[in-house]
């Protein structure tokens, strides 16, 4: 499998984002976004997906975190799309169930080339540490649209909002890892009857 790394910059009137990834990394991560709770969650992606992530962001946070969070999702999606390449020889599909105390989430992903998000999380609170948890849908929508994946996220149970979100991000990292690992039986073939993804 080719070197699966990417560097993407996104520069708009609202945000300036830089994302560097290595899909075959060790889970190391560095963040400078001004949004600590999002950074804590992205660290779960890196560590559980064994993906190296380096993300820097400057945004119009004097308004709120919306543009910064959404644009990080968009730029991360672009980086994944570039790093994955032609998708030959990968498993393509990945899934994970992850618990944290009372919370349990399931994430299923398909590197299908078709953007689609099903996001079912009934938060028990509207914010964690001042962070508007509704923004996580925007993060994942941005990711899905630009990574061109189908993504199903279901928080199956949970009482603590932090736990609910953390199980989602850990499961997301694990599902990414499964989907992107080399499938030795595919011998570099395209994992699709269409011959393209």
Residue 196 lies in a domain: no
What is the pLDDT averaged over residues 62-83?
A: 97
Q: Which pLDDT score is estimated for 124?
A: 96
Domain count within the chain: 1
Confidence of residue 187 (pLDDT cuts 50, 70, 90): confident
Residue 197 lies in a domain: no
The whole-angstrom separation of Cα 191 and Cα 176 is: 16
Domain that holds residue 173: 5-186
**Residue closest to 98 by CA, chosen among 108, 113, 110, 88:** 108
Residue 157 lies in a domain: yes
Confidence of residue 10 (pLDDT cuts 50, 70, 90): very high
Residue 167 lies in a domain: yes
Residue 132 lies in a domain: yes
User: Domain holding 179: CATH number?
Assistant: 3.30.230.40
């Amino acid at each position: 499998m080719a070197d699966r790394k990417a560097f993407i910059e996104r520069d708009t009137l609202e945000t300036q984002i830089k994302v560097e990834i290595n899909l075959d990394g060790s889970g190391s991560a560095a963040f400078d976004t001004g949004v600590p709770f999002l950074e804590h969650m992205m660290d779960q992606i890196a560590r559980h997906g064994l993906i190296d992530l380096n993300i820097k962001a400057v945004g119009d946070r004097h308004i709120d975190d919306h543009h910064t969070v959404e644009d990080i999702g968009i730029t991360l999606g672009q980086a994944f799309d570039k790093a994955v390449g032609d998708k030959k020889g990968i498993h393509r599909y990945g899934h994970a169930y992850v618990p944290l105390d009372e919370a349990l989430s399931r994430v299923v992903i398909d590197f299908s080339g078709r953007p689609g998000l099903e996001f079912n999380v009934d938060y028990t609170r509207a914010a964690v540490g001042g962070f508007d948890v509704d923004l996580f849908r925007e993060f994942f929508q941005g990711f899905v649209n630009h990574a061109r994946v189908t993504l199903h996220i279901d928080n199956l149970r949970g009482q603590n909002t932090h736990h609910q979100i953390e199980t989602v991000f850990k499961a997301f990292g694990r599902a990414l890892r499964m989907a992107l690992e080399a499938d030795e039986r595919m011998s570099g073939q395209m994992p699709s009857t269409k011959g393209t993804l």
